[in-house]
Amino acid sequence: MELVTPGIGLVFWTSIVFAILFVLLAKFAWKPILGAIKEREQSIEDALASAEKAKEEMKTLLSNNERILTEARAERDELLKDARDIREKMIAEAKGLATKESERLLQAARENIQNEKMAAITELKNQVAVLSIEIAEKILKSELSSDEKQKSLVNNLLQDVNLN
């Protein structure tokens, strides 16, 4: 019974002591402590948020890089392809030109040869004619050098001529 009978003195002292303790702690301990904890939590939260943001930025940056790299690669491929095309075209063109030129040269050479040949033939003809005349002259001269010969010729000729 005595154990469960509260003493007034102790109730009084407990009330007073607890009230004082509460006021002192609330003002000088809990306020700064809880404030500091809250502040720290806020700063950690902010730091986390900014880290998250940085991560996000990094991600966009990375994807940008990726995109730029892909683009650059595509461009390079394009350029290479173009270059190859141009080279092939140039080679083809050069080939065409060379063939044409060589044909032209051949044609010219052939014509030249023909002309030379004609000229040579004409020259030869002329020479032959001159030579023939000279030979004929000489022959005539020798044939007609004596009277007998002239007579014989006339005879021969006259013989050939048939009086038909």
Partner 1 sequence: MSNKIKTFRPILTCIFALLLCLNSSFANDNNDGAVAEPTHEEKFKPTEVIFEHISDSHDWHFWGEHEHAVSLPLPVIIYSDKGFDIFLSSAFHHGTHPYHGKYTYILKNDHIKVVDETEVVDDAATSKIIDFSITKNVASMFISVAIILSLFLSMAGAYKKNGIAAPKGKQSFLEPLVMFVRDEIARPNIGAKADKFLPFLLTIFFFIWINNLLGLLPIGANLTGNIAVTLTLALITFIVVNVNGNASYWKHILMPPVPWWLYPIMIPVELIGIFSKPFALMVRLFANITAGHIVVISLVSLIFIFKSMAIAPVSVAFALFIDVLELLVAFLQAFIFTMLTALFIGSAIEEHHHDDAHAEGAHAKHH
Partner 2 sequence: MTVTGSIAAIGAGLAVIGAGLGIGKIGGSAMEAIARQPEAAAKIQTAMIIAAALVEGVALFGVVVALLGNG
- Interface residues toward partner 1, by CB under 8 A: 2-15, 17-18, 20-22, 24-26, 28-37, 39-40, 43
Q: What minimum distance in Å lies between the beta carbon of 37 and partner 1?
A: 7
At residue 161, φ and ψ (nearest 5 deg) are -80, 115
Q: What contacts 144, CB < 8 A, 6 or more positions away?
A: 150, 153
**How far apart (Å, rounded) are the C-alpha atoms in residues 146 and 142?**
8
Q: What minimum distance in Å lies between the beta carbon of 41 and partner 2?
A: 20
Q: What minimum distance in Å lies between the beta carbon of 10 and partner 2?
A: 18
Report the residue number, 7 or 159, with the smaller CB distance to partner 1: 7
Report the residue number, 33 or 51, with the smaller CB distance to partner 1: 33
10 binds, among partner 2, partner 1, none (CB under 5 to 8 A by kind): partner 1
Report the residue number, 2 or 148, with the smaller CB distance to partner 2: 2
Angle at 14 (CA atoms; ends 11, 1), nearest 5 degrees: 40
**Residue 124 · residue 131 · CB < 8 Å:** no
